[in-house]
Amino acid sequence: MTGRSVLLIDQDQLFGAALGTLLGEDSFQLLPPVPSVEEAMKVLRDIAAPDLIMVDPWGIDPPRVASELRRLRASAPQTRIAVLTSDTSDSVLKASLFAGMDGHLSKSSGVATLRDALELILAGDAVFPPRAAALVAQAQQPQGPTPADLVAATADLSRREIQILGCLLAGQSNKSIARRLEITESTVKMHFKNVMRKIGAQNRTQAAVWAIQRGIGPLS
């Protein structure tokens, strides 16, 4: 778990220096930051793929944000990639989701929150704000399902699996879900695997969208 390499794409050099100091305390290896996706793609051609890429799309023309993120995703298909930005707009969040990013984080997050989020992303989880699934659902399903559709859609899911989806919609991590439902984290992962198989989802975001479209709400 030591020496995990991180490439930061950010025009803010001061932020890059501060982030390097913070990550260095947790056994991350911050590579020299680059100011643009274009520069990052040049670097990626000459080095071994980093474990994590963080990108702030600030400075990219808004209509091009999604396409630039997709270019980055295509250039490093095996690398975990997260948007790390101070832009809280839905448009940038949608770009992250539809470009296949593994996370969307805020620069205003506390140090501990950011570290935890990066660990989750590196462990294979997707980390997005709770509103992300609703944005995707709005884009993909303009009309809501009927009550009959809701019953049929969830008939194959157990009560526990529906609870798991509710926790997912509440933005909870596997660890938080395990604590909430008083089960082990490995059991949570098993339930997620079963749910994904049953509903044909490829990742947690797709599972969340599926749940919203079928009337499952966040577990309060």
Q: Domain map of the chain by residue range?
A: 4-128, 135-213
> What backbone phi and psi angles, to 5 degrees, belong to 110?
-70, 160
Residue 2: the pLDDT is 57
Instruction: Check: CB of residue 82 under 8 Å from CB of residue 127.
Output: yes
- Fold of domain 4-128: Rossmann fold (3.40.50)
Relative orientation angle of helices 159-169 and 204-213, to the nearest 10 degrees: 110
Residue 208: the pLDDT is 82
> What backbone phi and psi angles, to 5 degrees, belong to 81?
-130, 130
Q: Is there a common fold for 4-128 and 135-213?
A: no
Residue 192: the pLDDT is 92
- Fold of domain 135-213: Arc Repressor Mutant, subunit A (1.10.10)
Q: What is the mean pLDDT of each run of 10 residues along the chain (220 residues)?
A: 83 84 78 93 92 92 88 91 92 87 90 88 86 70 50 74 89 88 94 90 80 77
Residue 184: the pLDDT is 94
